[in-house]
Amino acid sequence: DDEIRQKKSECYADIESGLWGWQCKSSVIAKENCALKCLSPTCYELVYESDPLEEGEKDFVRSQEYKYCMHKVSLGESLEGIRGSFDY
């Protein structure tokens, strides 16, 4: 988790410096979507690409799916079955 926090901080720094383009700095939620994409393009694509976070949205289910995806990626495991694995 420390490693992830560190990488996310680096992503935010890159976004702030303009490396990701102006649209990533256009709003808090745009910045968050860009940071999630920066942190893990594969997991972002799987969990958020088709329906990015919107202003003020807190999506705990997808947040769990994203973390689970990152965990599986770090272990080199298959990403099948991540979507929908946390539907409550």
Mean pLDDT calculated for residue range 29-37: 97
Mean pLDDT calculated for residue range 17-35: 96
Q: pTM for the full model?
A: 0.88
Alpha-carbon separation of residue 38 from 13, 86, 87, 88 (angstroms):
11, 23, 25, 28
Judge whether 62 lies within some domain. Answer: yes
Judge whether 81 lies within some domain. Answer: no
pLDDT at 56: 86
DSSP character at residue 83: T
39-88 pLDDT, tens digit per residue, is 999 999 999 999 999 988 889 999 999 999 999 999 999 999 898 887 65
Domain that holds residue 29: 2-75
Judge whether 85 lies within some domain. Answer: no
Judge whether 35 lies within some domain. Answer: yes
pLDDT at 53: 93
- The number of distinct structural domains making up the chain is 1
Phi–psi pair at 58, nearest 5 degrees: -120, 115
Judge whether 60 lies within some domain. Answer: yes
Judge whether 53 lies within some domain. Answer: yes
Per-residue pLDDT at 30 exceeds 80 = yes
